[in-house]
Amino acid sequence: MLSIIDAMIDRKAIRAFKNDPVPPPTIEAILDAARWAPSGVNSQPWQVCVVTGAIKDQLTQRLIDARERTLPSNPDYQYYPLHWVEPYRGRRIETGKALYEALGIEKSDKTRQKQAWADNYRFFGAPVGLFFLLDVGMEKGSWLDMGMFIQNVMLAARQHGLETCPQASLAEYPDIVREILGLPNSLDLVCGMALGYADMAHPVNNYRLKRVAVKDFTRWYD
C-alpha cells in the first residue's frame, strides 16, 4: 500500500507515458477522491474537462500549429514572473538543463528543443488529458483551492498506479481549448495535465530535481 508520504515524496512530473488506455471509471474514481480538497466556504470552484481519443488529438494538432505559426500565446493569467531573480532564476536554469540532459539534447540543437516542446502539446504520449478551469469572477483564494484540488488529483492517480504531469504549457492558447471543447469565455483555463501509465524505461523519467531543505524556507518562532 502506497503511503501518503511516499506518494508525495516520490511524485514527479512524468514526460513519457505508455499508450495503455485508462478506464473511465478509474478517472472518475480519481476525481471522486480529489473533490474532497478544501476550499473557502466550501465553494468547490474547480471544473475539469477530460479529453481522450480524437478530441485530444485535435487539441494537440491545433496547439502545435499555433506554436509553429509563432502565434503569440495569450494565457488567461501570468504564471511566471516577468523578471526572474535569484534564487528562482537559478532553479529555472537548473531545471531546463536537467531536462535536456535527460533527453540527450544539446543546448545548440534548436530543432530537437522545438520537438521536445511540442511533446507538451502531445501530453507526452499520455492517453488522457485533463484541463482545469475556474469561473472568471473567482479571486486568488479560489486559485489556492484549485492548487489543492490539483495536488489531490496527482496523489489519487498514484493510488491507481498512474502518473501525471501538470502542464502550464497547455494553457498557453486558452481560446483554442475553449473553442474545441465548446467552453464559454467565462471560464479561465488554469492548466492542463497528462495522465497515464509512466514509461519508466524512458530516460526522461529517471532523473530527479533537487528540493531545498526545510531549514532554507522555514522560520521558527517560540
Question: Using one digit for the tens of pLDDT, what is the confidence trace for 44-65?
Answer: 999 999 999 999 999 999 999 9
Q: Is the pLDDT of residue 107 over 90?
A: no
**Mean pLDDT, range 189-210, rounded to an integer:** 97
pTM metric for this prediction: 0.96
The pLDDT value recorded for residue 1 is 80
**Mean pLDDT, range 157-163, rounded to an integer:** 98
Task: Compute the distance between CA of residue 168 and CA of residue 46 in angstroms, rounded to an integer.
Answer: 16
215 found inside a domain: no
205 close to 125: Cβ distance less than 8 angstroms: no
124 found inside a domain: yes
Q: Based on the structure, what is the number of domains in the chain?
A: 1
Task: Compute the distance between CA of residue 48 and CA of residue 133 in angstroms, rounded to an integer.
Answer: 6
106 found inside a domain: yes
Contacts for 36 with CB less than 8 Å, ≥ 6 apart: 152
221 found inside a domain: no
50 found inside a domain: yes
183 found inside a domain: yes
Peptide bond into 25 cis (omega under 30): no
21 found inside a domain: yes
29 found inside a domain: yes
> What domain range is 47 assigned to?
4-209
**Mean pLDDT, range 195-202, rounded to an integer:** 98
Indicate which CATH number applies to the domain containing 193.
3.40.109.10
Q: Compute how many other C-beta atoms are within 10 angstroms of the C-beta atom of residue 13.
A: 18
